[in-house]
Structures are given as C-alpha cells and as structure tokens.
Chains A and B, each alone.
Chain A
Amino acid sequence: MDLTRRGWAATACVVALAVGASLLASPLLLAAGAGLAAWFLGSQLSFVAALRRERNAVTASVTGPAVSTGVGETIELSLTASSDGPLPSELSIDIPAAARPVDDDSTRLTLHLGAAGDETLAGDSVTAETTISLECPVAGRYRIGPPQVTLSDPQGLFVAEFEASATTEIHVRSREPDTTHLGQGDDRIAVFGEHNTGRRGPGTEPAELRPYNPGDDFSQIDWNATARLRDAYVTESDAETDRRTVLFVDHRSTAEEGPPGSTPLAYLRYAGLALVESARNLGDPLGCYAIGDEGVTVEHPPSNSPGQYDTVAESIQSLRPTEKHSTEDARGSPATSRSQEPASPPSEGPSGSISESTDGGYSTDSAVNATAGIGRPANISSDPARAAEFAGRLSTEDSPFANHLNPLLDDATPYLHRVADEPLFQAARTYLERLQGSVWSVILTDGEHPGELRETVKLARRGNNTVLVVLASPTLFRPGLTDLDERRQTYEELVEFANSLTAMDRVTVRELAPGDIAEAVLSAGGEQT
C-alpha cells in the first residue's frame, strides 16, 4: 500500500497543524490536527478492510493467439478483467520489448474496470476487456503478463498493488519454410541422403565377408568368422573418402517469386544450409559460389577448415535476389559498377570514408560499419553479403552521411566477377576447372534458365563427378491456388526437363517447393489423370 499525492498532502496537513499549534500556542489547531489524523487513519483502516474483502474479487485473464504466428504478422492480445467489489481497479500488462504495438507507441496495455460515469453497486460484477495489436519483428517465445492490479481508495489517499498470475505465451516463428516438398515428380523424399564411394576399401563400416586370398593383409582377417566358418575370411569395409562438395547457389532476380520468407531463394537457402550441415557432419571439404544476375557474388573455394562451414552458412543466409539490369548496363561497365569503381574519387581517412580495397575495387565497409555502429575491423570487402546487408541498413537512415552515400549504393550487390551472359555456366566453368579429384556439385537454382542449367550440369559431371540439382521453380511458389491447371502444365514441363537431366549419368534432380502448394499441384494432376 502506498500513499498517493493526496495522501501525502493529508499527512503534511497533520504535521502543519501540529507545528502550528506549538508555534501559535493554539489548542484549537492541535484539536484540528488530532481530528485530521483520526480521519486519515480511519480512511486507511476502511481501505484495508475493503482490500481484504476485494482481493479475491478481481479476476484477470490474458489471451493471446492459440497458434504460432510468423515474424511480422499481427498478433491480437486481449486483457479481460472482472470485479465484484466497489473499489476502483486498474490492470496493466507490460508489452515485451521485442514486440511493438501496431497503432501507437504505448509500452503497457492498461484496463480500467468500470467506465466513466458508471455507478458500481456492491455485489455487481463489472467486466471489461481491451485488445491491442502487436507486431513481433523477432522470432521467439514471448511470455506476456502477469498483469499488475492496482486498487485505489475511494478517497484518493491510498493505492495497493497486486501481481496477478495470469500469463500467456506467444510463439513467433521465423520466416523459414515449415512445409517442404523435396522430391522428383510424385516421389517425395524427406531427407538428404549420405554419400558413399560405391567401392570397397579401408573404412570403418563393415560391408561384407569374403574368403581370404593370397596377398591380403593379415590384419584384415576376421578371426571370429574364420573360426565359425572353418576357413580364412577377411572383412571388407566401405571405402570412405573426402568428397569435395561445391554449392552453386543461383540467386538471380527470378528467385524472388512468392511472399516474403516463402520464395524460391528462401527454400534454396534452407536446402543449402542443410547441405552445409551434412558436409560438416561428414567432414567433407565444402565450397560455395553464389551467382547473381551479373556474375559471382560469393566465392568460397572448397575447404574443410573449422570456420569454413560457418562462413559458408553465413553467406548463404545473407543471400538476397539480385537486381537485373539491362544488358547494356551489365556489360557496361565497370564505370557503373560500385564494386569496381566508385562514382567519386576515394579518399584516405578513418572510418566514414570510402577506401580502396585490396582487390583493386573500393569498399564502403568502414563507412557502413561506422553508421551501423558495429565495431568490426574495417575491411570486410571479402564478404559481399555482409556489405550488402550494411548497405541495406544505410538505405533506411536519414542522415547527411546516408544521403550522400545512398546514391552510390543503389545496387547493393557487389559482384566479385561480372559475367554478362550465362553467369551460372561461366562460374561453374571457371571454378570447377580449378578443382582436382572427386567433386560433388550441388546446383541450387530456380530453373528459370534451362539451357544454361543443362550446359552447367554437363560441365559439372565431367571427370566422373556427380551432380545434384535442386530445382525450386517459381511456378510452385506463387501464392494462391487459383490457376492449378496452368501450374500443373508448367510443372509437367519442369518434370520433363528434370527427367532429361536425370537421364545423364551421375546426375540427380530434386524439386523443392512449399509442401502445401506442391501437394495441391500434384493432386490436380492426379484428378486429371
């Protein structure tokens, strides 16, 4: 229980009357002081009696969405309270810092019991409800509540606060695919498989027993089997090898179809990250090249160093669809390319300036870092994905510094190597030629450039190499299910194309799509047939 301002004023009045009685030698003031003190304490006792009675008369409940919601979706949060007692009550809930109200900037949801002008009779139940719309830009689980119940003295002298235990939890899921179709035609495959060499040799996984042949190593003899079968047998194991996995991630502008978080590129990223995890578990050397509309944007040569998997995963997560410019612009030219030449001469200096990078281009990283408030070393030009992310942050700022730089950052995709035509094919040719030995090429693409893709697959399977093509066709990503026949037709063409690729040796093709849409399209086909 606390005193309100009015309560403190009453206390001060008692003291003033007592002091005045002493100074003015006035018994009347002392009597007034005693009477006021008695009134104050009587009001306090009356409030306590009401509190004891009303403590259990207030019922509160907090209601959130029953199912999880996605990042950026609107959440309705309701606070309901009822009271049987006559004391004025106020209930409030703190809104989590990670959530923001849609309509205003309030950080609390407050509910007053009883509308203004209502006469609440003892024994009457008063119920009130308030709702607020929230938006959570960050995924996670948020606990809302408990509400704070504040009861006030009708005289306005005291308040008492309770903490109700009504809570609710909101689950905000991230924008990652939750239903995924991975398969070929009507066959669905749930998970990515593990690889083996297809040969027998040294390894840890026993494969089969065979009779001992002269020349075999004695250490290979399986003595248990020999004793059991009364002849010398050796155990052969599956040969294990380090196979280099090279990811080619196609993030051209055509991979942007669909709602945010459910685009072909989002699914390809998801698949790419799964492959990174698979390579990490198998200890395979992993490389990654990302291809935009005008060339290569990410370049990580194969390696199985400890940081390689995290670096590749981070690059894949940062990929955004690139913008397609006219052919003339694309060929054009280094003069218009931010990663090749800046619009204004570079100047030397500390953070906040455009500096020359080691590869001959120019980097705005230090400037963007300074603006973004990130205390990283200035030179991150080797990671274009991060540079693009910082450029995106800078574009939302309204400062003289940002206004000066933003025209230079219109195209936030820095290209490491510009290729005017068929960037996927050219990238595969450039980088695969440098690699020796067994390579598993994984091409993650939306399949919008079939001719180029076919040539790339042919190139990648050379030299006994294997190829996996993951196709995320934009046809299967358009929201709504109104044009199923048309989509089915497009899908059949895609399957036909995929089959033509699969017909090549050591080539596997998988289609990737949102599970619900894929199911609807496949079902449409089933009904027709």
Chain B
Amino acid sequence: MNYAPDQATTIAAGRDRLALPGVVVTAIGLALAGFPNGAVAALLLALTWLVASPSTIVTLGAFLVVGTGASMLTSALAVAGMALTLLLPLARSSIPTAALAATSVLALALLGSTAWLAATQSLWIASGALVLVATFIGYGIHRYVVVTIERQSVSTEVKTRG
C-alpha cells in the first residue's frame, strides 16, 4: 500500500485504520481480564484510538494490562494485539517488507538483550540500557541522513518564461 496525503492527515489526529485490528484484539484481551476493570480498560483503549497514534495506544495498553492484573492468556492476547497495532501501519511505508524485517530484527535483538540484562542484572539496568541504546542508534541514523542526504541538492532546473 502506498501513501495517500489525506490518510497522513487523518492518522496524525488518530483513527488510524491500519491500527484498528490490533486495537480491537488488545481491547478483547483487556475485556477478558475481568469485569468491570477489564471492560473499562478496553473502553478507554478504544477511545484512545480515536485521538492518539499507535505508539500512544500501545503504551497505554501495556500499562492497562499490568494494571488490570490480567491472566497469562489474556495478557498474551493483549500483547499480540499491541504487536498488531504497531506492525500493521508499517504497511504504509514506502518499502513495507523492509520496514517489517527491520522492525522484527531490531525487536528480537532488543527484546533478547533486555531480557538477558533483566535476568542477569536488574530491571533498572535493563531499562536504562534500552533507552541508551535506542537513543544512540536513533541519533546515529539522524546524523547519517544529515551528512549524506540532506546536504545534497535535489535535481533541479532553471527556467524563464518566453
């Protein structure tokens, strides 16, 4: 799927169509966690979809799963929904398969390393390392773009009428 300008405008204000299946699955997982807390959490997540981006929905969903004390099964369903919420909008990228592959590889690497750090060290160290590593990689990519792409001009032509 390719970019459509009106779609970009819409997703900036929420209501991302591609994130909707993931939100539904997450909401079901939360609702199954128990009544009334799970149902209220599911409703809150659905309302969040109306106004927020997928990253915000996933963050809120993670806190709600922890807060509702969901069982392992319902938690797994909610986590699967959150993964869909993030991954499905990647189809909007100019190279969807590359985006999906990069995200999967990075996810495996980050999840594996943080899980190892949490198991061998502590959650504090694992959390700090995650933030530091993500910041380092993100800033490195930013500098790469500035130096190699942004400082070059696009192809142009000069015209005069007549």
Which A positions have Cβ atoms within 8 angstroms of B?
Answer: 1, 6, 9-11, 13-22, 24-56, 58-67, 76, 78, 85-88, 112, 114-122, 146, 149, 152, 154-156, 160-168
Contacts of A38 in B (CB 8 A): 103-104, 106-107, 109-111
Contacts of A156 in B (CB 8 A): 8, 11-12, 53
Q: Is the beta-carbon distance between B5 and A116 smaller than 8 angstroms?
A: yes
Known A-B contacts A27-B118, A46-B94; the reply to A66 vs B162 at CB < 8 A is yes
Contacts of B160 in A (CB 8 A): 63-66, 168
Shortest Cβ distance from B45 into chain A, in angstroms? 14
Q: Is the beta-carbon distance between B154 and A41 smaller than 8 angstroms?
A: no
Q: Is the beta-carbon distance between A9 and B55 smaller than 8 angstroms?
A: yes
Q: Is the beta-carbon distance between B55 and A120 smaller than 8 angstroms?
A: no
Residue in A59, A115, A156 whose Cβ sees the most chain B Cβ within 10 Å? A156
Known A-B contacts A9-B53, A120-B4; the reply to A45 vs B146 at CB < 8 A is no
Contacts of A25 in B (CB 8 A): 123
Contacts of A11 in B (CB 8 A): 138
Contacts of B6 in A (CB 8 A): 116-117
Contacts of A61 in B (CB 8 A): 156-159
Known A-B contacts A61-B158, A156-B53; the reply to A28 vs B138 at CB < 8 A is no
Give the residue of B92, B114, B126, B153 whose beta carbon is less than 8 angstroms from that of A164.
B153
Q: Is the beta-carbon distance between A168 and B158 smaller than 8 angstroms?
A: yes
Number of A-B contacts (CB under 8 A): 262
Q: Is the beta-carbon distance between B150 and A161 smaller than 8 angstroms?
A: yes
Contacts of A50 in B (CB 8 A): 93-95
B35 within 8 A of A: no
Residue in B104, B115, B137, B160 whose Cβ sees the most chain A Cβ within 10 Å? B160
Contacts of B115 in A (CB 8 A): 27, 31
Which B positions have Cβ atoms within 8 angstroms of A?
Answer: 2-6, 8-9, 11-12, 53, 55-56, 58-59, 61-63, 65-66, 75, 79, 82-83, 86-87, 89-90, 92-95, 98-100, 102-104, 106-107, 109-111, 114-115, 118, 123-124, 126-128, 130-131, 134, 137-138, 141-142, 144-146, 149-150, 152-162
Contacts of B157 in A (CB 8 A): 59-61, 166
Q: Is the beta-carbon distance between B128 and A28 smaller than 8 angstroms?
A: no
Q: In the bound complex, what is the Cα–Cα distance between A18 and B152 (angstroms)?
A: 37
Shortest Cβ distance from B147 into chain A, in angstroms? 11
Give the residue of A32, A48, A152, A164 whose beta carbon is less than 8 angstroms from that of B154.
A164
Shortest Cβ distance from B89 into chain A, in angstroms? 6
6 pairs of A and B residues whose beta carbons are closest in the complex: A42-B103, A66-B162, A38-B107, A46-B99, A32-B62, A38-B106
Give the residue of A112, A149, A165 whose beta carbon is less than 8 angstroms from that of B5.
A112
Q: Is the beta-carbon distance between B114 and A31 smaller than 8 angstroms?
A: yes
Contacts of B123 in A (CB 8 A): 21-22, 25-27, 30
Q: Which residue of B lies closest to A113 (CB)?
A: B5
Q: Which residue of B lies closest to A80 (CB)?
A: B159
Q: In the bound complex, what is the Cα–Cα distance between A36 and B103 (angstroms)?
A: 9
Contacts of B102 in A (CB 8 A): 41-42, 45-46
Give the residue of B11, B130, B146 whose beta carbon is less than 8 angstroms from that of A34.
B130
Contacts of B111 in A (CB 8 A): 31, 34-35, 38
Q: Which residue of A lies closest to B96 (CB)?
A: A46
Q: Which residue of B lies closest to A51 (CB)?
A: B149
Q: In the bound complex, what is the Cα–Cα distance between A218 and B102 (angstroms)?
A: 104
Q: In the bound complex, what is the Cα–Cα distance between A15 and B128 (angstroms)?
A: 9
Shortest Cβ distance from B122 into chain A, in angstroms? 9
Q: Which residue of B lies closest to A45 (CB)?
A: B102
Give the residue of B103, B137, B138 whose beta carbon is less than 8 angstroms from that of A39.
B103
Shortest Cβ distance from B116 into chain A, in angstroms? 11
Contacts of A29 in B (CB 8 A): 62-63, 66
Give the residue of B92, B99, B127 whose beta carbon is less than 8 angstroms from that of A21.
B127
Contacts of B98 in A (CB 8 A): 45-46, 49
Q: In the bound complex, what is the Cα–Cα distance between A43 and B114 (angstroms)?
A: 20
Shortest Cβ distance from A142 into chain B, in angstroms? 14
Q: Is the beta-carbon distance between A65 and B161 smaller than 8 angstroms?
A: yes
29 A-B residue pairs with Cβ-Cβ distance under 8 Å, sorted by A, are A6-B55, A13-B59, A15-B131, A19-B127, A26-B66, A28-B79, A29-B66, A31-B114, A31-B115, A34-B110, A35-B86, A38-B107, A38-B111, A39-B107, A41-B141, A49-B95, A49-B98, A55-B152, A61-B156, A62-B159, A66-B160, A86-B2, A86-B94, A114-B5, A116-B6, A155-B92, A162-B149, A162-B150, A164-B156
